[in-house]
A and B are shown apart, each in its own frame.
Chain A
Amino acid sequence: MSEYLRTDQMSVGYRGRALLSQICLQVSRGQVVTLIGPNGSGKSTILKSIIRQLELIGGTVYLDGTDAKTLSARQAARRMSVVMTGRVWPELMTCWDVVAAGRYPYTGRLGILGQEDREKVEEALDMVGARELAGLDFDCLSDGQRQRILLARAICQEPELIVLDEPTSYLDIRYKLELLTILKRLVEKKQVAVLMSLHELDLALRISDFVVCVNGKEVERMGPPEEILTSDYVKKLYGITVGSYHAELGFPELEPARGKPEVFVIGGNGTGIPVYRRLWRQGIPFAAGILHQNDTECLVAEALAVQVITEKPFWPIQEETFCQAAAVLKECREVICCIEEFGPMNEGNRRLAKLKGQ
């Protein structure tokens, strides 16, 4: 599989000053490559340079093996289309009109649509599931619907590469998922190459074939998301000093309350998570235990609790661990037990819960 988009030693920036240099990116057809990085790190600058909105400071962008500089505006438009972050306010345009605008590089001098163009518009609308929106005024749509229509416009341009700049900004969780699902489907069906920037690491982790980390000076790392998005690296990339990020869960956690634990939570199997969150919100320092290390709850507890007492995966709770937990528990003014039924591996926790009464 050869790459569709390739940048060779590309330098990007504004007014002749390079912000990021030596960028070598590759996107093949049927692939999703995502740029991640903190605000202002230059993700948009890279994208704007690739779509030719900004002039390159140095290096070359190849589209399907051709130097993009040698392509005419129309030729480039037939290969590459975009979805940008900013909102657009077209006047008196129906969604159909907005999508049909994507036919620009294919129509004649006056831009009159032919039969084939109309079919392409319909097809694009179907693809994003927005056929019923076609006759509506674009101004009247919700943000999620707009983004879908703008994606349909990009599809309608029949590109081989789609560039999206933070397409999920402003969207609520439902529309975020919807938009990325459509995108994934598009990639599979039409084998287009997708290059985008995302703020949401959890989404980037799920949808991308490759992630590219931009840190404001250079492209620091790139590779499959599972390899790149480790907890420690994300913390470093975004300069997280308050709170933590868990690669395994794919979401960030805020900093735990400080101080001596006041409450002991006996949890496991996810039952304790709501309690941890609630205690954390109220700023009460707490300890959690005894959790098996293979329990997902363990990660949340580690992020939010002052102290967590754990046991090795699939082991019954050892006497030693129990004693340690009991010691912590005695220091707490309150004990919350979230478990109703204790299995054989959890015998230790049953004994702990009994201590609660005393």
Chain B
Amino acid sequence: MKKCIFCGILNSGKEAGNQRKAGDLTTGNQTLVRCILSFGLLGAALFLLFFWNINSGSVSLSVREVLRLLFLRQGDETAYRILWDIRLPRILAAAVLGGALSVSGFLLQTFFANPIAGPYVLGISSGAKLVVSLMLVFLLGRAIPVSWAMLILGAFVGSMISMGFVLFVSARVRSMSILVVCGVMIGYICSAVTDFVITFADDENIVNLHNWSMGSFSGISWENVKVMSAVVFAGLLLAFLLAKPIGAYQLGETYAGSMGVNIRRFRAELILLSSVLSACVTAFAGPISFVGIAVPRLVKGLLGTAKPILVIPGCFLGGAVFCLLCDLIARTVFAPTEVSISSVTAIFGAPVVIAMLVHRKGREE
């Protein structure tokens, strides 16, 4: 039997399923109970982190004060501003974008039939970052106002350019490890060019751009939250509608095709959807590392299944929880100095990825 980071959970489920006749009601119930528990757990964590997040920051507010501000909209004017204009949009952004990132990761993993694919390691986030920073420096230098639609579009174009490279490489190399290395290299090239651009940008732009290019949820407005929610929830809905072909695709392209999946269209849909989702994240919060790989893996382990119809909503919730936690840490650990969100997600996410690489070794043919 293969070793796996979640082996304990998986095996106990398997043995239980084995003793009874499979497909029988008890086994079905067991899976159902596990799913309900998992979603309950994620929901509870989201709820808890929401309040924890809203309660922590450089200005300390009591729980009562927070509740009053939140639900009755009464209280101290400064506290009201802090809560409603700074903390709440930031929390919502972290949750929505975190969810988007992990769903995007799950779609890419389906596309490449490999769990180590993700928008960050494949250099797609960095491509988006490059185009957005080029655009910002160019437009702001000429005092042209930049709309969020333009930013998202720019990030999407950047994502697609990087994706083009990745697809070009993947058509030539079979090994996923080499593909990931190429992705990381593309990421480095894009980051390097971004750094050049930022170095030569005007002084006042630098500070903001620099923060953004490291990845951060700070400085998000309500308007941003509305735009990103619209894009992300539309993407999420479309991804959910792709759940059936994604499930078939898990058996490989040939089988999926023979079962009636229009492969060419499906692959295009996967690429576009995952790029839109990760572009949206990059446009608002900069590149955020490892969420796209670690969260889907953890969610699948938690649910004990890879059925997309469960994993897609699970990924969204899991990503929200993961990013809220990481943002909390980024804000509070070295307060008042903020750590970039990518540093925190890397600390939690990278070990998961390493564990997956080690586990995967035995499977590569």
B56 at the interface (CB under 8 A from A): no
A77–B18 Cα gap in the complex (Å)? 31
Q: Which of A104, A118, A125, A131 contacts B248 (CB 8 A)?
A: A104
**Given A73-B260, A107-B244: A92 in contact with B1 (beta carbons within 8 A):** no
Closest to B2 in A: A139
**Given A53-B254, A101-B255, A109-B241: A135 in contact with B18 (beta carbons within 8 A):** yes
A90 at the interface (CB under 8 A from B): yes
Chain B nearest CB, measured from A49 CB (Å): 13
B60 at the interface (CB under 8 A from A): no
**Given A111-B244, A111-B309: A104 in contact with B260 (beta carbons within 8 A):** yes
Find out whether the CB atom of A110 lies under 8 angstroms from the CB atom of B259: no
A52–B248 Cα gap in the complex (Å)? 17
Find out whether the CB atom of B258 lies under 8 angstroms from the CB atom of A77: yes
A104–B256 Cα gap in the complex (Å)? 9
A140 at the interface (CB under 8 A from B): yes
**Given A105-B260, A107-B244, A135-B22: A91 in contact with B254 (beta carbons within 8 A):** no
Closest to A77 in B: B260
B8 at the interface (CB under 8 A from A): no
Find out whether the CB atom of A101 lies under 8 angstroms from the CB atom of B251: yes
A18–B365 Cα gap in the complex (Å)? 30
B221 at the interface (CB under 8 A from A): no
**Given A84-B254, A104-B259: A91 in contact with B10 (beta carbons within 8 A):** no
| Residues of chain B at interface, number, CB under 8 A | 36
Chain A nearest CB, measured from B189 CB (Å): 31
Find out whether the CB atom of B244 lies under 8 angstroms from the CB atom of A109: yes
Residues of A within 8 A of B164 (CB): none
Find out whether the CB atom of B255 lies under 8 angstroms from the CB atom of A74: no
Find out whether the CB atom of B255 lies under 8 angstroms from the CB atom of A84: yes
A122–B22 Cα gap in the complex (Å)? 9
B252 at the interface (CB under 8 A from A): yes
B262 at the interface (CB under 8 A from A): yes
Q: Which of B27, B259, B261 contacts A135 (CB 8 A)?
A: B27
Residues of A within 8 A of B57 (CB): none
Q: Which of B124-132, B136-144, B281-289, B298-306 contacts A (4 or more CB under 8 A)?
A: B298-306
Residues of A within 8 A of B250 (CB): 90-91, 93
Residues of A within 8 A of B259 (CB): 77, 81, 101-102, 104-105, 157
B363 at the interface (CB under 8 A from A): yes
Q: Which of B241, B261, B306 contacts A91 (CB 8 A)?
A: B306
Closest to B259 in A: A104
Chain A nearest CB, measured from B183 CB (Å): 20
Chain B nearest CB, measured from A162 CB (Å): 10
Chain A nearest CB, measured from B362 CB (Å): 10
Find out whether the CB atom of B300 lies under 8 angstroms from the CB atom of A104: no
Find out whether the CB atom of B365 lies under 8 angstroms from the CB atom of A87: yes
**Given A77-B260, A84-B254, A105-B259: A92 in contact with B248 (beta carbons within 8 A):** no
Q: Which of A96, A104, A112 contacts B22 (CB 8 A)?
A: A96
Interface residue ranges of A89-140 to B (CB < 8 Å): 89-98, 101-102, 104-105, 107, 109-112, 118, 121-122, 125, 131-137, 139-140
Closest to A157 in B: B259
A76 at the interface (CB under 8 A from B): yes
A109–B237 Cα gap in the complex (Å)? 13
Residues of B within 8 A of A121 (CB): 23
Interface residue ranges of B245-294 to A (CB < 8 Å): 247-248, 250-252, 254-255, 257-262
A104–B244 Cα gap in the complex (Å)? 8
Residues of A within 8 A of B257 (CB): 51-53, 73
Question: Max chain A CB contacts within 10 Å: which of B10, B22, B251, B258?
Answer: B258
Closest to A105 in B: B260
Q: Which of B14, B23, B251 contacts A88 (CB 8 A)?
A: B251
Besides the contacts A88-B251, A102-B259, A110-B309, what 6 more A-B pairs have beta carbons closer than 8 Å?
A: A81-B258, A92-B300, A101-B251, A104-B260, A135-B14, A137-B10
